Amino acid sequence: MHRAYRDLEQAGVVAGRPGIGTFVVATTSPGATPEQLRELSVELRRWVDRARGAGLDEEGIAALIAATMDVGPDIFSGAQ
């Protein structure tokens, strides 16, 4: 069983999170290379940490991402 998980992880099908479990990795656009995905993941992790530091919970973070993707980055241009 352990080998099967390891093989799936090496193939990029699943990702293990220590202390949490193993999860299926969502499919991505065919244009992104594995290195680009790793870099984006690191940047996103930093952004999520900043968002949590600003007081957003998981639901708030997801809502902000969804709103930004639907409307665009200037969604809060009038906010102070």
Q: 19 is in which domain, residue-wise?
A: 1-25
pLDDT for 55 equals 96
50 and 35 within one domain: yes
Q: Is residue 49 part of a domain?
A: yes
Q: At what angle do helices 58-71 and 34-53 cross, to 10 degrees?
A: 120
Q: Is residue 78 part of a domain?
A: no
pLDDT for 49 equals 95
pTM of the full predicted structure?
0.54
37 and 4 within one domain: no
9 and 42 within one domain: no
**Residue 48 near residue 61 (C-beta atoms within 8 A):** yes
Q: Is residue 62 part of a domain?
A: yes
The one-digit pLDDT tens for each residue of the chain (80 residues) are 566 667 777 777 777 777 777 777 766 566 778 888 889 889 999 999 999 999 999 899 888 888 888 775 565 665 54
- The first and second tokens of residue 1, run together, are 């069983």
**Residue 3 near residue 9 (C-beta atoms within 8 A):** no
pLDDT for 52 equals 95
